[in-house]
Amino acid sequence: MLSQLSIRNKLLMVTAIIVIVGMINVMINIFSANEKKDSIAKLETLTGLSAKIALLVHETQKERGATAGYLGSKGTKFIQKLPKQRELTDAKHKEYLAYLRSVSMDNFSPQIKDNIKKLETLLQKLPSIRNQADKLNIPLKEAIGFYTNMNTLMLVIVPETAKISPNKELANLLSSYANFLKSKERAGIERAVLSATFAAGEFAPGMLNKEISLITAQDRYLDAFLATASENIKVFYKTTYKGQAIDEVLEMRTKALNSNFNVDPIYWFDTITKKINILKSIDDFISKSAFDTTSDLRNQASSEMIKNVGSSLALVFILSLFIYFVAQSIVNNVNMIKNQLGNLSKNMNLSQKIETSSR
């Protein structure tokens, strides 16, 4: 059947095959690029969620510290500070919920969805915990444990985000960010432990060992953070993490470890909060770096899609033009030979040469 086709039709068939293959390649490029863009879009949503959670956990960390100071002092300290801090926590909780409502839950993995449900359950219990704390009806260890469990649930979001990152640089950034947040969380627990300790004038049972383990954990997570952080984040950390508050926290911590509890718990709380606010500024810098990197990946994916689709279409167009001109050349020469053979047949002049413009 193929042998019965004219040369023109055979060449047109070759052209059609090339065009079809080229268009299939274009569609594959578009599909692959859209998949990558969808992955980055999910990553952007998770990065946004991580940012909202970081803001919320910063406030719940402070509320934990103020609650511990209030309980440790038997309700004589943090009377004004605690209600104000609860208002700040509630404001960030509302922002977090508003963000959740603004995005599709399909962007989240089953693990993250499960953690979000568990977190909301704990947040719904928060008014009850506050009420028990106001009435001094909850043990210090249980109160600190509640806030710590809630914060731990929030802080697992960042490592989960790193797992789905399609880019090694961003995955490293998010992994280092997760370690930094873990160190910051331990600093928040230390704020609560020593707020209660200075308010009570002694370590509660098990709290001395808790304090020592918190110091060790902060250093360990900071080391892990610095081991994988990018150079610009390391520079920002080293130029930012310094000041009087950090030095004073170290002095008051040393006093506590030496059983010297002659420290105003409110002053301790305010001073370590200044230190943690420095950590928060570093937190914000890392979070912005993650946003910027994700945005760059999205723009890069769009550029790659345009480039790949454009180059594929250009290649198909050039090949089609090439085949068209070759086909025209062949067909024209065949027609010229055909006409000469017709004249030769008509005139029966066998001495006439057949002329052609192509080999």
CB < 8 Å & 24+ apart, contacts of 97-100: 99/48, 99/49, 99/52, 100/49
Query: What radius of gyration, in Å, describes the C-alpha atoms of the chain?
Result: 35
Burial, 248: exposed, middle or buried (Cβ in 10 Å; 0-12, 13-18, 19+)? Answer: middle
Write down the pLDDT at residue 123: 93
Write down the pLDDT at residue 9: 74
* DSSP state letters, 85-152: HHHHHHHHHHHHHHHHHHS-GGGS-HHHHHHHHHHHHHHHHHHHHHHHHHTT-S-HHHHHHHHHHHHH
Q: Pick from 200, 195, 211, 204: which is nearest to 265 by CA?
A: 195
Answer for the pair 327, 70: CB distance below 8 angstroms, yes or no. no
Alpha-carbon distance of 290 to 269, in angstroms, equals 30
Write down the pLDDT at residue 238: 94
Alpha-carbon distance of 301 to 294, in angstroms, equals 11
Write down the pLDDT at residue 124: 94
Residue type, 73: S
Q: Pick from 156, 161, 188: which is nearest to 173 by CA?
A: 161
Answer for the pair 173, 286: CB distance below 8 angstroms, yes or no. yes
Burial, 278: exposed, middle or buried (Cβ in 10 Å; 0-12, 13-18, 19+)? Answer: middle
Write down the pLDDT at residue 93: 95
Domains of the chain: which residue ranges?
A: 27-305
Angle of CA points 84, 87, 89, to nearest 5°? 115
List, in sequence order, every beta strand (DSSP E) within 128-239.
none
Alpha-carbon distance of 41 to 47, in angstroms, equals 10
Write down the pLDDT at residue 33: 65
Write down the pLDDT at residue 223: 94
Answer for the pair 218, 186: CB distance below 8 angstroms, yes or no. yes
Percent of the chain with pLDDT over 70: 90
- pTM for the whole thing? 0.73
Q: Mean pLDDT in each 10-residue stretch from start to end of the chain (359 residues)?
A: 66 75 74 69 79 90 94 92 95 94 83 88 94 94 93 82 72 86 93 93 92 95 92 94 95 95 95 94 90 76 72 76 76 77 76 69
Alpha-carbon distance of 248 to 251, in angstroms, equals 5
